[in-house]
Chain A
Amino acid sequence: RKEVEQDPGPFNVPEGATVAFNCTYSNSASQSFFWYRQDCRKEPKLLMSVYSSGNEDGRFTAQLNRASQYISLLIRDSKLSDSATYLCVAFTDYKLSFGAGTTVTVRA
């Protein structure tokens, strides 16, 4: 079983729309969680950390539910520049474990 499972999408949304997607993780000992963004043929870059209390970074909201081992990301007022693959990441001990990614395409 993969450590992090994600809905691959793709999510195809118009500009201005809200899009939400999630992932689950299998290791209850995982200590911290992140969303990374990966553009086509580029390296992953940190988008934001995820906390149980929920956190926002501009148009992005992330939430962690430790009881159900579930992580979500919501993007409000989507921009064309939000088109990318979003990677759900769990950190355990010293290692980042990545989901396969959710592809989001924002259309004009």
Chain B
Amino acid sequence: GAGVSQSPSNKVTEKGKDVELRCDPISGHTALYWYRQSLGQGLEFLIYFQGNSAPDKSGLPSDRFSAERTGGSVSTLTIQRTQQEDSAVYLCASSSDPGTGYGYTFGSGTRLTVV
């Protein structure tokens, strides 16, 4: 597609439920990133994919968080047993040139609210 697509755009879930967030990157972009942005905060790195592998998962806050990427394309971020502190905007970005810092495109994010 023309840009990075994320779904759903908004998700309200009850505490303790599992959620899945989807990211469809720009076609041909080998690098994919997940970030989290809490209210009034900067973007917090979660995980980096190069192709289907994740060489850096260091930003995942707990073992309740996991992510996968299939076919070098779509990625899913899963949060199990959601907690209120998981409420944030989850942003996905893709890049064709992860070695330089240029060419990153962000999706419009999924706003997650845990009630």
Q: Which A residues contact B (CB, under 8 angstroms)?
A: 4, 6, 31-34, 42-46, 49, 87, 89, 91, 94-101
User: Is A99 in contact with B101, judged by CB distance below 8 angstroms?
Assistant: no
Interface SS of chain B = strand
Known: A43-B91, A44-B106. A97 touches B101 (CB 8 A): no
Q: Which B residues contact A (CB, under 8 angstroms)?
A: 31, 33, 35, 40-43, 45, 48, 50, 55-56, 91, 93, 98-102, 104, 106-109
Q: List residues of chain B with CB within 8 A of the CB of A49.
A: 102
Given contacts A32-B101, A94-B99, 18 further A-B contacts (CB under 8 A): A6-B42, A32-B102, A43-B106, A43-B107, A44-B106, A45-B106, A87-B42, A94-B56, A95-B33, A95-B48, A95-B56, A96-B45, A96-B104, A97-B45, A98-B35, A98-B43, A99-B42, A100-B41
What are 16 A-B residue pairs whose CB atoms fall within 8 Å in the complex?
A4-B42, A43-B91, A43-B107, A43-B109, A45-B106, A49-B102, A87-B43, A94-B31, A94-B48, A94-B50, A94-B99, A95-B33, A95-B56, A96-B43, A98-B42, A100-B41
Q: List residues of chain A with CB within 8 A of the CB of B40.
A: 100
Q: List residues of chain B with CB within 8 A of the CB of A31.
A: 100-101
Q: Distance (Å) between the CB of A20 and the closest chain B CB? A: 20
6 tightest Cβ-Cβ pairs between the two chains A and B: A91-B101, A100-B42, A43-B106, A98-B43, A32-B101, A98-B42
